[in-house]
Amino acid sequence: MKRRSHVIQMKPNNQQSTYFEKACGCQRFTYNWGLAAWKTEYEAGNKPTGRGLKKQFNAIKHEEYPWISEVSKCVVDTAFENLNKAFQNFFRTKNGKTYPKFHKKGVKDSFTVDNTKFTVDGKKIRIPKLGWVRMTEELRFEGKLISATVKKRAGKWFVSIAVETTATASENHASGAVGIDLGVKALATLSDGTVFENPRTYYKYDKKLRRAQKSLSRKKKGSKNRAKAKLKLSKIHYRINCVVDDHIHKMTRHVANNYHTVVLEDLNVSGMLKNRHLSKAVSRSNFHKIKRFLQYKCGDVRFVDRFYPSSKTCSSCGRIKDLPLHLRTYECKCGLSLGRDLNAAINLVRAGCPELKPVEMKALATGNSSETVICEAGNVLKTQRA
């Protein structure tokens, strides 16, 4: 059994939108109340827990906070569960984990409903103490409903429905292996010769983004004009994310439909971001998102060590030579002349899948023809001619 989530946009009316705002506010207030109480008890020498704080809050909420009962009790339960998980993560590792912070209004507003309190019927979802709310599409997964998280983004409401399903990651049962070299100029180059260009979406929206950010910085904090400017900026970010996600989904779906095994390089992205000449381009290439999408779509994703010289190694004779970044063609003494990204992708699939035993991987420099062949026990897995 695997847990999958489907994010669907909702179409609430004014009354339903007001309920969502109340529920988000109640969950935020409960979380902040619990965090303050946790600090107080810890300073007093006690060992607070999420369950104990929940009992304390339930004992006083009807008298001191009667408006809490206007929303589902799942809102309060989820707030204390999240608080307990936050402290568990903090005390367990403390590596990069900061002490839990108070939640702010308008920042990642959301609330969660458990599986016993909501129902999905086609393009509708039933929220407790509210009723049926329209959705833009039907739930694509079949199985046991786990939870529904309602969140606000760029002025729109979305619901993320978690389902426990038996669906496999690769429904088309594709076979074969491919190496993928991720880059900045070409977003992804496959070992079969397929190239996915970088859409450079962020650069197309740079002017709009810069103007919206300047406009927001000039507004007085707490004013209505600042809220309008903030909404306008969030819509631009939402549009950029949608375009980027669409491109990456199409690319990763193409890979998942044609190959079962994918080989990637374990890139040191944090180190690449320290290069002030490349940091902006690297951060906007979304390497982590590509890796995450491939991991849940493909059957087998493998990684080659980051110190493996995939770009410097000749895919024909195995000779290693220095290759400056500005040289986009790999030329070897053995006669090989090949794009550096394609050469690296071929080396990656050979290093990540030694069991395939490639018998021939050629790319002629004449430009009249080129051929890439990967064989396993005499069977041709993939052939690409150009």
**Domain edges within the chain:** 2-165, 175-201+231-386
**How far is the C-alpha of 38 from the C-alpha of 58, rounded, in Å?**
15
What does the mean pLDDT of the chain come to?
84
- What pLDDT does residue 137 have? 94
**Helical packing angle, 50-64 and 73-92, nearest 10°:** 150
Listed residue (322, 313, 380) closest to 346, CA to CA: 313
CA distances to 53, 273, 280, 288, 289 from 269, rounded to whole Å, are 40, 6, 12, 9, 12
**How far is the C-alpha of 41 from the C-alpha of 359, rounded, in Å?**
68
Helix (H, G, I), strand (E, B) or coil at 380: strand
The answer regarding whether domain 175-201+231-386 maps to CATH 3.30.420 reads yes
Helix (H, G, I), strand (E, B) or coil at 186: strand
- What pLDDT does residue 311 have? 82
**Partners of 5 in beta bridges:** 162
- What pLDDT does residue 365 have? 29
**How far is the C-alpha of 31 from the C-alpha of 46, rounded, in Å?**
19
35-39-41 Cα angle (round to 5):
115
Q: Is 62 exposed, middle or buried (0-12, 13-18, 19+ CB in 10 A)?
A: exposed
Residue 330 near residue 336, CB atoms below 8 Å? yes
**How far is the C-alpha of 79 from the C-alpha of 67, rounded, in Å?**
16
Name the DSSP class of 361.
E
Report the relative pairing of strands 195-197 and 261-265 from DSSP bridges.
Answer: unpaired
**How far is the C-alpha of 34 from the C-alpha of 52, rounded, in Å?**
10
Q: Which residues of the chain have pLDDT under 70?
A: 93-97, 167-174, 356-386
- For 237-289, write each residue's pLDDT tens digit: 999 999 999 999 999 999 988 888 899 888 888 888 888 888 888 888 888 99
- What pLDDT does residue 364 have? 26
**How far is the C-alpha of 257 from the C-alpha of 238, rounded, in Å?**
28
**Partners of 148 in beta bridges:** 113, 161
Residue 87 near residue 100, CB atoms below 8 Å? yes
Listed residue (355, 289, 271, 350) closest to 318, CA to CA: 350
Tell me how crowded residue 369 is: count the other CB atoms within 10 A of its CB.
10
Residue 145 near residue 228, CB atoms below 8 Å? no
Residue 113 near residue 72, CB atoms below 8 Å? yes
